[in-house]
Structure 1
Amino acid sequence: LLFIHGESYDFGSGNVYDGSGLASAGNHIVITLNFRLGVLGFLSTEDSSASGNYALLDIIAGLRWIQENIRAFNGDPDRVTLLGHGYGAALANLVATSPLVRDMNLFRGIILQSGTALSPWATVMSPLPVTRRVAENLNC
């Protein structure tokens, strides 16, 4: 079970979640991960110079790691489930629908709590104005 934290796209950490209670409730391995947040995770110029969604790439890299290593923890790579809460649910939903993971078999199921990719706060439809403001504030 890969838990994707979801306080915000700007702050948070997988390290603060203790999965031992959930793991002991059933025969589960609970994994949390960290991913880039804020401008490091989502800055986009809407072109190839800064395409954005780096947080999603980090989560996909985590899923690849799980596929390569979960057997060492007596886990089954064919039974990986994404679990996201809030912003983490939106990210899990975005990963699940991304063409980057199509035909990769990185996970089998998904649990979304209190958010989806369709939530009004889940995506920024026009990120370029935000990127320009960041660049101006940093004198770039």
Structure 2
Amino acid sequence: MQQAIPNITPEVKQRLEDQGFKPFKYRPLPEYANPHSLQYWLTNAGLGLVCLVGRHYATSQQSIRIIWSASAVFIPLYAIATNAKLDGLRQNNFYRKTLDDRLELHPLTRRAWERAKQTHKEYQDQLREEIATLEAELRK
């Protein structure tokens, strides 16, 4: 099967490097954004503390407190939700899934893919037969 995007030739790769392009490299999550690190939880605790202090200051100034209250509630909820979501981060984002990985949980798509492969194979066989008959006629 022909690739959708052909491999880069060494000449093209060298030309791209000369123009300043670099191969893509995954960057790890910074510690303040990684829910499996202590710095993430300390950052969220600091933000929550700032929200509580802001709420107290807004109360003393007889100002609106709903923004500070909502932030104080949503920061820990978001931190917990992020921790739950990122447990499968390696499986979800950091590698390019193969076609079999993508079709693993989609049986309808897999059946359609198998049917398309079979149709393509039949079409290729038909073309080969036609070419063979044409070549046989030319050789006569």
Task: Say which structure is richer in strand.
Answer: 1
> Higher helix proportion, which one?
2
Larger Rg: 2
Provide the TM-score with structure 1 as the length reference. 0.24
* TM-score normalised by the chain length of structure 2: 0.24
